[in-house]
Amino acid sequence: MDPTTLETIWFLLICILWIGYFVLEGFDFGVGLLLRAVGRDRAERRMLMHSIGPFWDGNEVWLLVAGGATFAAFPGWYASLFSGAYLALFAILAALIARGVAFEFWGKHDTPRWRATWEWSLVLGSALPALLWGVAWANIVRGLPLDGAHDMTGSFFDLLSPYALLGGVVSLALFTLHGAIFLTLRLDQREAADAHARAERIARLVAPVALVAVVAFLGWTLANQDGVEWFSAVLAAGAAVLAATAVSLVRQKRLSWAFAVSAGTIAFAFSALFADLFPNALPSTTSAANDLTLAAAASTPYTLKVMTVVAVLLVPVVLAYQGWTYWVLRARLGKATFEEVRNPVDLVAKVTGGTPGGGGAQPGGGASGGGS
């Protein structure tokens, strides 16, 4: 049975939420996993933490909303996915928890061992989700071994097929590239010259890897289709073109455009996967008769109507607030701001000219989430 108009609308909205999460949290993951590669001393690593400190927890709200919307609009999809891939999703959750704790605990004690422990927690807590989200969505598109009740009959290791692992390489490479380019825009080229140069060099190295991975993965995705779906093919081609453009822009040091294009690459790549998935919520590799369709997984029409009204009223407010946050905290960061800073009070005094609580907003914007 084909999905209704409301079911299709909510599938599109959930796609947008997931894509927004990957674009925004993608550079957070990239910065986190590059913490020790770009930051070579305490001041530089503090600077890198503060580059995403005001944003990372707000970006994770997109994940919460995407998960909540999936549960409310398509409870059958949510149940089959979260029960069947429980261990994989738990691993992502544990990594996200370790990552969030690292931001807060890194600056609580001033010893090398303490800081190194939480730095590696941040690195691994960023790298693991960056890899596993690609693995997860590759499995969703490829399908899982479902029985007639839409329960997964396979094991955890069935999720680690070559296709799924390549999907993980794609997301890891794209998020690393996205984060490296973000750092070139967030760090002052004169006041944080060394860290800026390292981030730019990493972007140049990772961009070709991301291009090859995107082309190989999306080509494999199209090859797996029974018949090539033109819309999915167009989106896949767009992702490949944007990835190639990102390589060129990074080499030309047109980094603002490169960041926009890397965001577009992520958006187009995952859009191609969602287009390939429709009208199913979760295909079955056991038998096509066991496919979980959107119509079968959806909530009642009344529930979808109420959710639509709430979304129309509240989503613009959330978008406006988050956009305002990025605008207010757009200033570049310099290393000098973070030297000789031992705690949040020191940082406030530093950025306000020695008057804690006074003055206007400065680069770094305070210590919230930044691990001072």
In the chain, what are the domain boundaries?
5-341
Q: Which has the closest alpha carbon to 91: 136, 54, 60? A: 136
Q: So what's the pLDDT on residue 363?
A: 39
Handedness of CA 36, 38, 43, 48 (dihedral sign): negative
Does residue 84 or residue 127 have the better pLDDT?
A: 127
| Statement: residue 24 has pLDDT above 90 | yes
Angle between helices 86-105 and 75-84 (to 10 degrees): 80
Rounded CA separation 202/341 (Å): 27
Q: pLDDT confidence of 273, banded at 50, 70, 90? A: very high
DSSP 8-state secondary structure symbol assigned to residue 344? H
Q: Is 67 exposed, middle or buried (0-12, 13-18, 19+ CB in 10 A)?
A: middle
Q: pLDDT confidence of 354, banded at 50, 70, 90? A: low
Tell me the two tokens of residue 130. Answer: 């960056």
| Statement: residue 205 has pLDDT above 90 | yes
Tokens 């033109």, located at residue: 230
SS3 breakdown of the chain: % helix, strand, coil, rounded to 5?
A: 75, 5, 25
Rounded CA separation 114/202 (Å): 27
Q: So what's the pLDDT on residue 367?
A: 40
Tell me the two tokens of residue 304. Answer: 């979808």
| Statement: residue 109 has pLDDT above 90 | no
Handedness of CA 188, 190, 192, 193 (dihedral sign): positive
| Statement: residue 210 has pLDDT above 90 | yes
Rounded CA separation 79/91 (Å): 18
Q: Collapse the DSSP code of 7 into the 3-class scheme (helix H, G, I; strand E, B; otherwise coil) and give the result.
A: helix
| Statement: residue 227 has pLDDT above 70 | no
* pLDDT per position as a tens digit, 28-52: 999 999 999 999 888 888 889 988 9
Rounded mean pLDDT, 218-230: 81
* pLDDT per position as a tens digit, 68-78: 999 999 999 98
Q: So what's the pLDDT on residue 365?
A: 38
Q: So what's the pLDDT on residue 8?
A: 92
Q: Contact, 36 vs 119, CB < 8 A?
A: yes
